[in-house]
Chains A and B, each alone.
Chain A
Amino acid sequence: MSQAMRVLFLALHTQLATYRRRFWEPLLIVAAIFIASAGLTAVTLINAGASSQLKQFALGDLPVNFHIIPRSDNKSLTRSDYAELRRQGHNALVAYTKTAGRLAVDTVTLFNLLPAANRPASQQNSFAQQAAFNGIDDINQLYRNEVTLQTHPLSGLLVVGALSPEQYKMLEDSIPAHLQLIPFEFTSPANNLSDSFSLNLWAMGALMVLVSIFIVFNAFNLLLAARTPVLVKLRQLGIGQAVLLRVLQLEMFILALVGAVGGVIVGASLVGAISPVLSNIYRFLLDGQFSGGQFSTPRLILLAVVFCAVAVMIMGLLIRQRLTQSLARRSYLVAAFKRRFKPVYNVWLLLSLALVALGAWLVASQLQALLYIGLVLIAGCTTVVLLMPQLMSLVARRVPTTKPLLHWSMHNAVSLSQRTRLAACAFFIALAANIGMNVMVDSFRQATQQWLEQRLFAPFYIYTDFDGDLSAEKGAPVPLLARYGKDVRLNGQTLELRSFPDGAEYQQYLMLDDQSPSAWFAFNVQRGVFINQQLAYRQELNTGDTVSLPLNAGLQAFEVVGVYPDYGNPKAQVLLPETVLADEYALISAYAAFASLSEQSALESWLNDHSESARLIPRSTLIEQSMIVFSRTFLTTDTLNLVTMLVAALSFFVSITLLVMDIKPQLLLLRSVGVSPFRIKLSLFSQYCFIAVSCALLALPFALLLAWLLVNKVNRFAFHWTYPLILDPMIIMQSLLIGLGLLLLLMALPLGRLQARFYSQQEAL
């Protein structure tokens, strides 16, 4: 063994020898990384599973994972290619043509692939109905009149249902040279709630990564602090700084590896254990099974190893600088901070924060909004690192010396906070994001509920594929109000034209964000129209602007007299007076039925005679079902939010526990001067509370800014709708208390053990 290796081995051995006496230090660092890794794994798997589910297109219960398309634009996929492959026995192939973001599918062959069982008879007997049931169009309806295979060639062949590896290989071998078999991804444009859900998932994933990075670097920082005394001694014994650096990096890598790999395995197992629950959620939400997407456990372990290696390398650069300082002075952190940070910097810091807050108004795109959220979080972390110790010092200085224990507690808390700032940052990010997202979701929930309650004005609604106007049929036991519709194209976008009933009594049911003074008059005389937020935002239209709509075989100009919210609708929409559309409607989306409960059965009977597909749904059921879908949609993000918070709290707890070990001599001194174990415990707990509450209070303004950004910028640019930001103190307090509660509960756990240690130390003395 070379001299250098011997020195390295000796130094490493010396380091590891400390484990016998201070085994809690490496164990807690491993625990911190383990928790971060398990949390990140769980969030990644849930996120990937949900995202792949969102991207996965399914017909009924059958997933569509692959499709066959031409290799290049020069060669097209022909109907003969389709027939040839099917006649070879590849009967899972179904031809489709994509137009205007929708799929027109060969519904006749698809009919056979969809399960016959468990479908109501009325959904079994018609190809078109079956297509509509699955949210697709019938290819026979597309290829009519001037639309031919020459003008609109086939887009591809869907592979309907799961393929075994053998089936995949057989299919791949069968397809002609000009075609290729590739994964299929298609998200229905109608599923905007899923888009919102997807964005939430993405945000939660990014948040968890950020929190994990803080946790890992915090753990390394703690290890560096814990190792400093030994490193000083080794340096004094003549071991070179480079060797010490390598030893420290090696130890960090080993501990990180143990924690990270263990965390990946446990995190993946946890997700596996709860996958039936997740499957239930996704089956309801997305009509599919949950799976971990493209992440296998070995792949996650590999990622964890790479992540650890990169983190250790980055730490190496920081350690080199710190090691030099540490070898000269142990408590460099506080001293250096005090020396470098001058009070005047606070002014700059506050000014910068004000600029960040004001700059939020300038955000003008979805990407900018997401980047800006990152900037807000960085600004928040800077505040935690630079401002929190000062604010805590201010409070601590107010504590009189006549109360020595409290005085010591507060000052010690300040000291602890400076040494746990990275963990505090992780907790800060998790807490701020949690509060921000909860406020955003709560605002959305309240806005949606209020909107539904106002918009659904009739006691019952009828949904049917009846070919005609039920409201014009004679003999209906109650008045029916048809909602006429027609979809047109305007400036390259699909635009929904929908009728709004004539009559002053209905005006109160249209929730408007903005309206011109004589809006309803202009609307009733067919000069004005109301447009939804989606149209207003997409085409930058405001009240007073003019829109030209293709009506009566020509373009008819209308003044925009109001903008209304239309949550969940991905399309732009215009409300026209009923009389305008009644003569040239293409569809009737629903009927409002003004029936009392006693008239319900008569109405049902009448409907059965006229349309077997008609469904009569009470208003309360519609609202209830909509809100159930809403709640279930955000259940996953709520869970991810809580996991992130738990991980951050656990990390914070580990940091504090580790640092408290350093002050054990001081605690013993307190005990020796007669302070009871209970009061020492209380003192420590008050320190934790002080740090946690300070962090939470700093998180609050940033959380509210985040909520504002999510509602007014992210939603605005991602989905083209906004809603009022509702600051419900109960929701804010609830989020705050859950975060703090989690942290303080964890911190209270080791206090009991501390008491036992005092007694055993006393006996030894």
Chain B
Amino acid sequence: MNRLWLLLLVSGCAFSAPLQSQQDNRFSLFGGFKADNQAQVSISKPVSLPADHAPHPGYQIEWWYLTLLLENDDGEPFNYQFTLFKFARPQLASNWGEGVVWMGHSSLHTQHQHYFAEKFAQQGTGIAGFSAAPVAFYIDNWQWQSKPEAALFPAELSTTSGPAALKLNLAASKPFVKHGQQGVSFKTGDGRYRSYYYSQPFINASGQITLNGVTHQVSGIGWYDHEWTSQLADEDALGWDWFSLHFDDGRKLMAFTMYVDGSEAYTTGTLISAQGEPQTLGPEELQILPLNTGEVAGREIPVAWQIRIPKQHIDITTSAFKTEQWNNSRFPYYEGAMSFSGSHAGKGYMELTGY
């Protein structure tokens, strides 16, 4: 469910200056927006793969999200996030473009450096889009190219991030995981806010990262999300704290707390067994609690968290890979790697918005 707010910011007309919310001191992300409910997220029409890997033109916003935890041969970390966002801008539709705007984010963290790049392009101009056979996503010279006959994985990812050039091979070892009810993910208790959401948390990645003239052979694990909706673009959405965790015992956890003005904060998630079996966690089964904040980009961000799933005897504390993991994009947000310890150990990614 993560990241949609970014799209909303660029997907519509003007938004007002950020408002201090009544809830949790968060900033309203979508001042002046009301959700476009033209295309519905409905349980009667669940996620269907592989067809749903492709873009969904009827929906206002959509994103394909990849986070990788990589290391080179010397064990140096290279944490990488690649995201393609697509959003409908019918007012742009013309003889030049199709009124669909793609936005790409590429963010590479080494131990001491952060390289971030952002791209915009319109569908129909040949600069950004999707092709079905074989599956490919592209924006400028960034390209996700699936192997022939493959639904999505294995794939080759070719991107840049500032001075870094990345060529990575991605392979999935388990089936895709649908969140919520057959891929229909609720964001609020009353179900008013929801999206289609599935993931591939069992990714093995390897390849080269060339940085400042030095090519590093890298390998590691990754997490892929695909989500689309029209119902989240609303000024009441105040942000979220989202986590994707790789347990050392092979299990995976997706967890988030969504903040909506006038509603209780809604916490939910999916615990995935090492074999790929998902188990949806309701608010009563999952707790996500901030522990410590750090000053990032001039604001206080909770960078350490406690995540508890009492029934599963999971009680872990996260620790950010580094405090400064702020994506200073046109619409800035916190996105970065972390590790966790406690009842269980492992590593993952977190995204924090609305700060």
Contacts and interface: CB of A to CB of B under 8 A. Distances in A.
Given A121-B17, A140-B92, A112 B127 contact: no
B97 A116 contact: no
Contacts of A612: 14, 16-17, 32
Given A89-B141, A91-B119, A121 B96 contact: no
Interface stretch (A38-46, A77-85, A441-449, A748-756): A77-85
B297 to A, nearest CB: 11
Contacts of B118: 112, 116
A125 interface: yes
Contacts of A84: 126
A83 B125 contact: yes
A577 to B, nearest CB: 33
B120 A108 contact: yes
Contact of B140 (A91, A122, A124, A142): A91
Contact of A144 (B9, B95, B125): B95
Nearest to A109: B121
Interface string A607-622: 0000011000000000
B130 to A, nearest CB: 14
Nearest to B12: A125
Interface in A116-155: 116-117, 121-122, 124-127, 129, 138-144, 147-149
Interface in B301-340: 328-331
Contact of B96 (A111, A122, A143): A143
A151 B202 CA distance: 51
Interface string B156-177: 0000100000000000000000
A147 B125 contact: no
A559 interface: no
A125 B10 contact: yes
A320 interface: no
Contact of B141 (A88, A116, A144): A88
B94 interface: yes
Contacts of A89: 140-141, 160
Contacts of A143: 94-96
Contacts of A638: none
Nearest to B118: A112
Contacts of B125: 79, 82-83, 95, 106
Nearest to A120: B17
The contact size tier of chain B is 20 to 34
Interface string A292-324: 000000000000000000000000000000000
Greatest chain B CB density within 10 A among A83, A95, A122 is at A83
Given A116-B329, A124-B330, A125-B9, A108 B97 contact: yes
Nearest to A149: B95
B119 A147 contact: no
The contact size tier of chain A is 35 or more
Greatest chain A CB density within 10 A among B122, B127, B138, B331 is at B127
Interface string A460-491: 00000000000000000000000000000000
A346 B241 CA distance: 94
Nearest to B122: A108
Greatest chain A CB density within 10 A among B10, B14, B96, B126 is at B96
A86 B125 CA distance: 11
Interface in B75-125: 92-97, 99, 101, 118-122, 125
A80 B94 CA distance: 17
A273 to B, nearest CB: 35
A126 B17 contact: no
Contacts of A147: 95
A87 interface: yes
B150 interface: no
Contacts of A122: 14, 17
Nearest to A148: B95
Contacts of B12: 125
A116 B330 contact: yes
A87 B15 contact: no
Contacts of A129: 14
Nearest to A104: B96
B13 interface: yes
A671 B12 CA distance: 90
A83 B94 contact: no
Contacts of A86: 121, 127, 140-141
A111 B120 CA distance: 7
A147 B94 CA distance: 9
A149 B95 CA distance: 7
Contacts of B122: 106, 108-109, 140
Greatest chain B CB density within 10 A among A86, A129, A147, A612 is at A86
Given A87-B141, A140-B97, A144-B95, A112 B119 contact: yes
A611 to B, nearest CB: 9
Contacts of B328: 116-117
B264 to A, nearest CB: 29
Given A87-B127, A126-B14, A141 B94 contact: yes
B121 to A, nearest CB: 5
B95 A112 contact: no
Contacts of B140: 86-87, 89, 91
B95 A126 contact: no
A125 B126 contact: no
Given A83-B126, A140-B94, A109 B120 contact: yes
A111 B92 CA distance: 14
A366 B16 CA distance: 49
Given A124-B330, A126-B14, A612-B16, A149 B141 contact: no
Interface string B118-153: 111110011100000000001011000000000000
Greatest chain A CB density within 10 A among B92, B95, B328 is at B95
B97 to A, nearest CB: 6
B15 A125 contact: yes
Contact of A121 (B13, B15, B93): B15
A122 B15 CA distance: 7
A652 B293 CA distance: 73
Contacts of A83: 125-127
A758 B329 CA distance: 77
B339 to A, nearest CB: 30
A140 B127 contact: no
Contacts of A124: 330-331
A138 B13 CA distance: 15
A140 B15 contact: no
A152 to B, nearest CB: 9
Nearest to A465: B14
Nearest to B97: A140
Nearest to A117: B328
Interface string B1-33: 000000001101111111000000000000010
B121 A125 contact: no
Contacts of B160: 89
Greatest chain A CB density within 10 A among B14, B18, B97, B141 is at B14
Nearest to A110: B120
A139 B12 CA distance: 18
Nearest to A146: B95
Nearest to B99: A140
Interface in B47-98: 92-97
A247 to B, nearest CB: 62
A125 B14 contact: yes
Nearest to A154: B96
A96 to B, nearest CB: 11
Nearest to B17: A121
Contacts of B16: 612
Given A87-B127, A87-B138, A112-B120, A139 B96 contact: yes
Report, nearest first, the 10 A-B pairs whose CB atoms are least far apart. A83-B126, A143-B95, A116-B330, A143-B96, A89-B141, A140-B94, A112-B120, A108-B122, A143-B94, A148-B95
10 contacts: A82-B126, A87-B138, A109-B122, A112-B119, A116-B329, A138-B92, A143-B96, A147-B95, A148-B95, A149-B96
Given A126-B13, A140-B99, A612-B17, 8 more contacts: A86-B140, A87-B127, A89-B140, A108-B97, A112-B120, A116-B118, A122-B14, A129-B14
